[in-house]
Amino acid sequence: MNIVDIILDKRYGRELTDEQIRFFVRGVTDRSIPDYQATALLMAIVLNGMNEREISTLTLEMASSGEQNDLSFVGDITVDKHSTGGVGDKITPLVMPLCSTFGVKTVKLSGRGLGFTGGTVDKFSSIEGFNIDIPKDDFPKYVAESGMVISGQTPDLAPADKILYSLRDVTGTVKSIPLIASSIMSKKLASGADAIVLDVTCGTGAFMKTFEEARIIADTMIKIGRNAGRKVIAVITDMDQPLGNYCGNVLEMREVYDTLRDRGAGDVEDVASIIAANMIKLAGKTGGLSYEELIKECKTRLTDGRALKEYIKLIKSQGGKVTEDGPSYVDEPVEVYKVKADSSGFIFSIKTNELGHCSVALGAGRITKDDDIDYGAGIRFMKKRGDAVLEGDTLCTLYVGRNSKLLNDKETVESIAARVRASYNISTARPLGIRSVIDVVGDK
């Protein structure tokens, strides 16, 4: 078999055989296929697509390109969750303890932030002492202690995806349904859970800009999961605005704590409750509640202190410092700018990805994978879509960490603030039909 013929087949729109796909993934993993040929095939896939069988084979081959987790030690149905990414997405630290109140054990492998979307690993790392690098062999110990464990992905999980993703990132081949679906699902399958709840984000702050695109990718991932013998539900959620009231690592983890202690933003409570309800359902731990009753019960437990107790247990079990005021953080956000509305009206639309990029520019994320993070940096959103504003009202406030260079760089802060202001479209019309959870599809 020869890679040039495989590239030509896809270039001319022909179906690839399972053997051709296997040859490609193995050649990428052992580096016998050079990057330029791998990239040529990726571009042919972007342009000519893949059918369901090809996508499933590609996913399974990437999933088995490295180690595959065995979660049988949990002794119960294991459920994983994954978000396709967004700005202000703090759902994982909320749903793990919430599921735990129903006796659902979670083993979660998460990624770092790259690009404009945040990463769960970075969020947990903003808690003083929290150990996010838990060796796989120690998972049983942590699950026995708190019922939960969260760890960064090891380089050995789906290494073919790691190589292909880094090529896609720099060759204009990220956006493609077969490539996104197989990339996400290969990691989920290798993570070993029996069931998976996908949070498929859609809107200006997501890969999928429209509901139709989100629905196609959701259906594709559900089929891949089913073909691999896993149960999958996809919750399609709104990313036409940031989720909740904050983005940035310490700021978001404080928002998590405040939500669990008392009350959160409406969209955060809705998304967390619906995702948790679907995880609990797939784990078979509904306790006889109907789906609607389960969502209501999740909403109650999310903020009445029961999930908080589990959250503190998780933090302490992984070495995080907790005082009577809550978790301690590695930095203290310092407010550096108030971004004001330059006209009156309603917040009609928001360029959410641009807000994510601005948060990265403040230091909250990485531009290249080796960049350091400023854990204290981020943005507080005071106005959301549909809110009425008067000229001069504060739309959001910008933060940096206490050692940030930007504390003495007014010019850069002002240029970021100008980009933030330009991300808001203020109109005389009020937007209609804003929903944080748009649809739920899959193994209901």
The region of 98-106, 128-136, 174-182, 364-372 touching ligand URA under the rule CB under 6 A is 174-182
Q: Is 201 in the site for ligand URA (CB under 6 A)?
A: no
Active site residue 10: no
What part of residues 83-112 is at the interface with ligand URA (CB under 6 A)? Answer: 84-85
Shortest distance in whole angstroms from residue 249 CB to ligand URA: 19
Active site residue 156: no
Tokens representing 212? 């139709």
The three-point CA angle 334-131-299 to 5° equals 70
Distances (CA, A) of 330 to 234, 251, 254, 310, 411: 34, 11, 12, 22, 27
DSSP 289-323: --HHHHHHHHHHHHHSSHHHHHHHHHHHHTT--EE
Shortest distance in whole angstroms from residue 297 CB to ligand URA: 31
Catalytic residue among 125, 183, 273, 436: 183
Catalytic residue among 64, 65, 81, 82: 82
Tell me the C-alpha distance between 188 and 294, whole Å. Answer: 25
Nearer to ligand URA, 104 or 197 (CB): 197
Tell me the C-alpha distance between 132 and 130, whole Å. Answer: 6
Nearer to ligand URA, 228 or 334 (CB): 228
Tokens representing 165? 């993703």
Tell me the C-alpha distance between 47 and 395, whole Å. Answer: 40
The region of 172-180, 242-250, 336-344, 390-398 touching ligand URA under the rule CB under 6 A is 172-180
Q: Are strands 378-381 and 334-340 parallel, antiparallel or unpaired?
A: unpaired
Shortest distance in whole angstroms from residue 241 CB to ligand URA: 20
Nearer to ligand URA, 184 or 193 (CB): 184
**β-bridge mates for residue 347, sequence order:** 426
Shortest distance in whole angstroms from residue 42 CB to ligand URA: 11
b/e map 211-226, b = 16+ CB within 10 Å: bebbbebbbbbbbbbe
Interface with ligand URA (CB under 6 A), residue from 63, 143, 180, 217: 180
Active site residue 161: yes
Nearer to ligand URA, 211 or 291 (CB): 211
Nearer to ligand URA, 152 or 327 (CB): 152
Tokens representing 173? 């081949």
Interface with ligand URA (CB under 6 A), residue from 183, 237, 318, 359: 183
Q: Fill in the amino acid letter for 281.
A: K
Shortest distance in whole angstroms from residue 443 CB to ligand URA: 21
**β-bridge mates for residue 426, sequence order:** 347
The region of 13-21, 51-59, 175-183, 210-218 touching ligand URA under the rule CB under 6 A is 175-183
Catalytic residue among 108, 162, 187, 351: 187
Shortest distance in whole angstroms from residue 180 CB to ligand URA: 4
Q: Is 186 in the site for ligand URA (CB under 6 A)?
A: no
Distances (CA, A) of 326 to 4, 253, 255, 285, 429: 58, 11, 12, 29, 42
Shortest distance in whole angstroms from residue 147 CB to ligand URA: 26
Nearer to ligand URA, 182 or 404 (CB): 182
Catalytic residue among 168, 188, 281, 383: 168
Binding mask 396-435 for ligand URA (x = CB under 6 A): ----------------------------------------
Q: Is 43 in the site for ligand URA (CB under 6 A)?
A: no
**β-bridge mates for residue 247, sequence order:** 379
Distances (CA, A) of 28 to 146, 156, 165, 184: 39, 14, 11, 17
Q: In the chain, how many H helices and how many E strands?
A: 16, 15
The region of 9-17, 101-109, 120-128, 177-185 touching ligand URA under the rule CB under 6 A is 177-185
Shortest distance in whole angstroms from residue 300 CB to ligand URA: 32
CA atoms within 13 A on the CB side of 436: 19
Tell me the C-alpha distance between 390 and 313, whole Å. Answer: 44
Interface with ligand URA (CB under 6 A), residue from 143, 184, 217, 377: 184
Q: Which of 162, 231, 239 is nearest to 201 (CA)?
A: 239
Read off the DSSP letter of residue 15.
Answer: P
Q: Which of 95, 56, 151, 133 is nearest to 279 (CA)?
A: 95
Tell me the residue nearest to ligand URA as measured from the CB. Answer: 183
Active site residue 306: no
The region of 29-37, 120-128, 180-188, 311-319 touching ligand URA under the rule CB under 6 A is 180-188
Question: Which parts of this chain interact with ligand URA (CB under 6 A)?
Answer: 84-85, 165, 174, 179-180, 183-184, 207
Task: Give catalytic residue positions.
Answer: 82, 161, 168, 183, 187
